[in-house]
Amino acid sequence: MITSVPSLMSDISGVGRDRARGGYSRFVLTPAELELREWFGGEAARRSLDVEVDRNGVLWAWHSAGSSTGAVVTGSHLDSVPGGGAFDGPLGIATAFCAYDRLLNEGALGDRPFAIAAFPEEEGARFGVACLGSRLMTGAIDPDRARGLTDADGVSYAEALAGAGIDPRHIGPDPDRLKSLSAFVELHVEQGRGLIDLGQPVAVGDAILGHGRWRITVRGQGNHAGTTLMDDRRDPMVAAAAIVVAVRDLARQQPDARATVGRIQPVPGGTNVIASRVEVWLDVRHPSDEVTASLVARIAASASSLAASEGCTASVTEESLSPTVHFDASLRSSLCAALPGAPVLGTGAGHDAGVLGSHVPTGMLFVRNPTGISHAPEEHVEDDDADAGADALARCLAPLLRV
């Protein structure tokens, strides 16, 4: 059975559409993502792959083989950012199933176990910490902290897991599972223009930019919009607006840095209410982890002084941090050997492959995105490139599956 990636992707094209924002909002363990988890299970069952949900809620579709260790795994995530594109995450899962079909058809499944994996909360869009599933698996986040993370409605990750039938008491490091893996290869839509400018459909990944998330809490004095004179205000919204501009200006002064405020939340958030506090979420990325740290320090200092000039205060807390990751060199050369002529590209986007990279040899493949846009509805992959991705993934996995 050789399936085409576009046909699998069209099966889920209606899941989690966000009419208000455009694009897709498939937040982890909400009905939309649970529907994608069902789709994952259906595709696995169609191929008689054994489905497993592990202690961290990671979905696995297993093809067991002669040896019980040294499993070769491919996959990605099903959750999305708010109003995201159709391909960020699910493309890596759909191509994985189609690559499996190709390997089975060519009798190339080899002697090692093979699995397709879907990691929960890669975007951190619901509970705030990116790659939450792979961080838990690798011990990169404390399980109690993870259980206590809450979404915008105050639902904890523990409650969301329990609601999906996953016992939150068991989340945490899974060293035995990590030891049983010999390679993880994640295929992902390219979130940039590299392949467009090179005129190629598929690239091999070599590094992931270090990145982190911080929350800046700006506190002032809540009050009535109509009875509070302008000179009597300590308005955290005004301070927050100045901080957002300062983030842009400070990042512009640092070559190669990227700093973004994509989310801001006044509390209580009424049109006729001067906010009492404003939450400002900061995303900073740079190839050097030291530069990221020093840029965040400059942003924090600027936030404090800008807040003070409005009679407010600003405090900064780190929410997550991922160092720059260089993928396993020998796995990368194996991927390059399987795809002669394919370019090698870095990425400014974080991935589970980056988190797993310190425990398992990991690599990535990127598929051309003709818009170069991601984390927005315009994200796109042409049908032929999607199938070229599955062909490339199968070609890369075949040698890894041979003992």
138 residue type, one letter: T
Nearest Cα neighbor of 143 from 129, 155, 154, 126 is 129
CB closer to ligand HGY, 351 vs 395: 351
Q: Which does 120 bind (CB under 5 to 8 A by kind): Mn ion, ligand HGY, none?
A: none
Binding mask 87-106 for Mn ion (x = CB under 5 A): -xx-----------------
Residue 122 within binding range of Mn ion, rule CB under 5 A: yes
Structure tokens at 383: 């049908």
- Specify the stretch interacting with Mn ion by CB under 5 A; choose among 64-72, 118-126, 146-154, 257-265: 118-126
User: Does the annotation place 213 within a ligand binding site?
Assistant: yes
- As a whole number of angstroms, the distance between CA 281 and CA 87 comes to 25
- Residue 123 beta carbon to ligand HGY: minimum distance, rounded to whole angstroms: 5
Determine the 3-state secondary structure of 327 from DSSP.
Answer: coil
Binding mask 295-334 for Mn ion (x = CB under 5 A): ----------------------------------------
Whole-angstrom Cα Rg for the chain: 22
CB closer to ligand HGY, 110 vs 346: 346
- As a whole number of angstroms, the distance between CA 71 and CA 323 comes to 26
User: Does the annotation place 188 within a ligand binding site?
Assistant: yes
Tell which one of 55, 233, 286, 351 touches Mn ion (CB under 5 A).
Answer: 351
Alpha helix ranges (H) inside 231-339: 236-252, 289-308, 329-338
Nearest Cα neighbor of 239 from 282, 272, 279 is 279
The residue whose Cβ lies closest to Mn ion is 351
User: Does the annotation place 285 within a ligand binding site?
Assistant: yes
- Residue 127 beta carbon to ligand HGY: minimum distance, rounded to whole angstroms: 13
- Residue 375 beta carbon to ligand HGY: minimum distance, rounded to whole angstroms: 6
- Specify the stretch interacting with Mn ion by CB under 5 A; choose among 30-38, 321-329, 331-339, 350-358: 350-358
- Residue 191 beta carbon to ligand HGY: minimum distance, rounded to whole angstroms: 7
Structure tokens at 290: 């030291």
- Distances in Å between the Cα of 391 and the Cα atoms of 54, 61, 77, 242, 340 are 28, 19, 20, 49, 13
Q: What's the DSSP call for residue 84?
A: B
- As a whole number of angstroms, the distance between CA 302 and CA 6 comes to 48
Residue 121 within binding range of Mn ion, rule CB under 5 A: no
Cβ neighbours of residue 371 closer than 8 Å, sequence gap 6 or more = 378, 379, 380
Q: Which does 130 bind (CB under 5 to 8 A by kind): ligand HGY, Mn ion, none?
A: ligand HGY
- As a whole number of angstroms, the distance between CA 318 and CA 77 comes to 24
CB closer to ligand HGY, 122 vs 385: 122
CB closer to ligand HGY, 9 vs 349: 349
User: Does the annotation place 105 within a ligand binding site?
Assistant: no
- Distances in Å between the Cα of 39 and the Cα atoms of 97, 176, 255, 400 are 12, 28, 43, 27
User: Does the annotation place 111 within a ligand binding site?
Assistant: no
CB closer to Mn ion, 55 vs 351: 351
Site residues (CB under 6 A) for ligand HGY? 122-123, 130, 349-350
Nearest Cα neighbor of 210 from 264, 245, 256 is 256
Nearest Cα neighbor of 31 from 159, 164, 167 is 164
Determine the 3-state secondary structure of 299 from DSSP.
Answer: helix
Q: Which does 190 bind (CB under 5 to 8 A by kind): ligand HGY, Mn ion, none?
A: none
CB closer to Mn ion, 355 vs 397: 355
- Specify the stretch interacting with Mn ion by CB under 5 A; choose among 37-45, 49-57, 301-309, 348-356: 348-356
Q: Which does 143 bind (CB under 5 to 8 A by kind): ligand HGY, Mn ion, none?
A: none
**How big is the chain, counted in residues?**
403
User: Does the annotation place 310 within a ligand binding site?
Assistant: no
Annotated binding site for Zn(2+): 77, 88, 123, 188, 375
Binding residues for Mn ion, per CB under 5 A? 88-89, 122, 351
